[in-house]
Amino acid sequence: MEKYAFMESLADNFYLVRGANNATIPFCNSFVLDGNERVLIDAGLDHSVIKAIDADRRIDLLIITHSHPDHTLASHLLGDRTLMLPEETPDSVHDLFELGRRFTGSDRGGIHWEQRMRSVYGLQPLKPADARFKNGDLLDLGGARLEAIHLPGHLGDHYGFFDHNSGVLLTTDVDFTGFGPWYGHEEASIERFKTDVQTLASRDARLVCSSHKPPIRSGMKDCFDRFFASFERQQQEVLDTLESPSTLEGIVAASPFYHNRFPDPFLQRIYEGHLVKKNLDLMITAGIIKINNDIYTKVKETTHAIH
pTM of the model: 0.95
Peptide bond into 26 cis (omega under 30): yes
Q: What is the pLDDT of residues 130-183, one digit of tens each?
A: 999 999 999 999 789 999 999 999 999 999 999 999 999 999 999 999 999 999
Q: What is the pLDDT of residue 143?
A: 84
Proportion of the chain above pLDDT 70, given as a percent: 96
**Fold observed for domain 232-298:** Arc Repressor Mutant, subunit A (1.10.10)
Asked if pLDDT for residue 300 goes beyond 60, the answer is yes
Q: Do domains 7-89+129-217 and 232-298 have the same CATH topology?
A: no
Answer for the pair 152, 189: CB distance below 8 angstroms, yes or no.
yes
Does CATH number 3.60.15.10 belong to domain 7-89+129-217? yes
**Would you list the domain boundaries of the chain?**
7-89+129-217, 232-298
- Per-residue pLDDT tens digits for 9-63: 999 999 999 999 999 999 999 999 999 999 999 999 999 999 999 999 999 999 9
**The 3-state secondary structure of the chain, one letter per residue:** CCCCCCEEEEECCEEEECCHHHHCCCCCCEEEEECCCEEEECCCCCHHHHHHHHHHCCCCEEECCCCCHHHHCCHHHHCCCEEEEECCCCHHHHCHHHHHHHHHCCHHHHHHHHHHHHHHHCCCCCCCCCEEECCCCEEEECCEEEEEEECCCCCCCCEEEEECCCCEEEEECCCCCCCCCCCCCCCCCHHHHHHHHHHHHCCCCCEEEECCCCCECCCHHHHHHHHHHHHHHHHHHHHHHHHCCECHHHHHHHCCCCCCCCCCHHHHHHHHHHHHHHHHHHHHHCCCEEEECCEEEECCCCCCCCC
Strand-pair partners of 86: 133
